[in-house]
């Protein structure tokens, strides 16, 4: 099989980390030559086995990566749209909103649909790693049959009979196409109702429910002056159409509540990558918000 070695260090006196990777790679290759008379090849792009060296001032540790792709990647995402949320962050937003699967859920600016898909997975009890592969599947002591059994059980645990009320909308048709593609990969196409419209022009999908959305914000998508105009319109739209809804907006633009003239009942600090954000909670009641 192919290997890739990398090295990271803290307070280590050895200066060339590349040299350490090289020495460790030689050691691994020597081991295979001595014991099996065959030498693993190096593949830097897509190796079968990733090996990580870690050094500090006193110790050297060597790790084999059992995951492969980072664990937030669930395997359903086929898109490369702008600014998608990481799956684990979207899932965290659903948990923080305390959305219960009996409640109507709506992401009015859904992008590639990460939030609604994560909510659906929660509602139907879908194991997060079910659609991806793991590096340990390449290990020689990996038992395919045992793993297949675990996956089989996870599939049996999916509660497909439950039909949650989940709605998603985006102004950009490409986003809707991506979201549908991601969902169809899991063969769950019929579980989320999509709409392609300006959020400010559509009515609420239900009399009450939970909105969770990741707003466009200055740093990554839109410029800040555009948003200054958008926030008051958004606030007015929520007041007119979303009485009895709990609304959760993730934004990196900390001016947002002030510009909306709505007082959030919660402001939860969250980092979206390196961008410091807040998850703002607005509890809407008739004519205003509480």
Ligand X SMILES: C[S@@+](CC[C@H](N)C(=O)[O-])C[C@H]1O[C@@H](n2cnc3c(N)ncnc32)[C@H](O)[C@@H]1O
Residues of this chain that interact with ligand X (CB under 6 A) are: 83-85, 90, 108-109, 111-112, 114-115, 169-172, 175, 198-200, 214, 216, 221
Min dist CB 235 to ligand X, Å, is: 13
The Cα–Cα gap between 238 and 222 comes to: 21
Could you identify the residue written with the tokens 């319109």? Answer: 233
Helix or strand or coil: residue 22? helix
Minimum distance of ligand X from residue 257's CB (angstroms): 18
Closer CB to ligand X, residue 51 or residue 109?
109
Torsion of CA 280, 281, 287, 290, to 10 degrees: -120
Closer Cβ to ligand X, 20 or 117, answer by number: 117
Helix 173-185 and helix 114-124, axial crossing angle in degrees, nearest 10: 30
Cβ nearer to ligand X, comparing 68 with 113: 113
The least distance separating ligand X from the CB of residue 112, rounded to whole angstroms, comes to 4
d(C-alpha 207, C-alpha 219), whole Å: 34
CB 283 → ligand X: shortest distance, Å?
Answer: 22
Taking the complex as a whole, the smallest distance from the CB of residue 267 to ligand X amounts, in Å, to 19
Report the residue number, 9 or 259, with the smaller CB distance to ligand X.
259
Where b means 16+ CB within 10 Å and e means fewer, 245-284 reads bbbbbbbbbeebbebbebebeeebebebeeeebbbbbbeb
Find the shortest distance in angstroms from Cβ 106 to ligand X. Answer: 11
Q: Please say which residue, 3 or 238, places its beta carbon nearer to ligand X.
A: 238
Would you say 83 or 165 has its CB closer to ligand X? 83
Tell me the residue nearest to ligand X as measured from the CB. 111
Distance CA 180, CA 81 (A): 13
Q: Which residues pair with residue 2 across a beta bridge? A: 41
Longest CA span, the chain: 78
């Amino acid at each position: 099989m192919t290997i890739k070695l990398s090295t990271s260090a803290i307070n280590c006196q050895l200066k060339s980390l590349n040299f350490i990777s090289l020495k460790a790679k030689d050691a691994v290759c020597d081991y295979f030559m001595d014991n099996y008379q065959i030498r693993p090849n190096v593949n830097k792009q897509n190796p079968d086995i990733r090996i990580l060296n870690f050094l500090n001032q006193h110790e050297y540790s060597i790790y084999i990566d059992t995951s492969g792709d980072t664990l937030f990647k669930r395997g359903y995402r086929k898109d490369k749209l702008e600014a998608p949320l990481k799956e684990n962050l979207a899932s965290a937003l659903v948990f923080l909103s305390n959305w219960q699967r009996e409640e109507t859920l709506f992401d009015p600016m859904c992008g590639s649909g990460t939030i609604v898909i994560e909510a659906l997975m929660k509602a139907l009890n879908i194991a997060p790693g079910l659609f991806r592969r793991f590096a340990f599947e390449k290990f020689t002591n990996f038992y395919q049959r045992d793993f297949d059994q675990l996956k089989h059980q996870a599939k049996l645990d999916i509660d497909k009979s439950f039909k949650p009320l989940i709605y998603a909308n985006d102004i950009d048709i490409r986003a809707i196409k991506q979201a549908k593609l991601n969902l169809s990969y899991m063969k769950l196409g019929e579980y989320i109702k999509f709409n392609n419209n300006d959020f400010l022009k559509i009515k609420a999908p239900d009399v009450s429910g939970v909105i969770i959305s990741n707003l466009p914000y200055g740093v990554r998508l839109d410029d800040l002056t555009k948003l200054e105009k958008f926030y008051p319109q958004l606030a007015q739209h929520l007041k007119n159409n979303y009485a009895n809804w709990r609304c959760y907006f993730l934004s990196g633009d900390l001016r947002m509540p002030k510009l909306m003239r709505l007082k959030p009942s919660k402001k939860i600090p969250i980092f979206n990558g390196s961008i410091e954000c807040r998850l703002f909670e607005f509890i809407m009641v008739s004519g205003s918000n509480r």
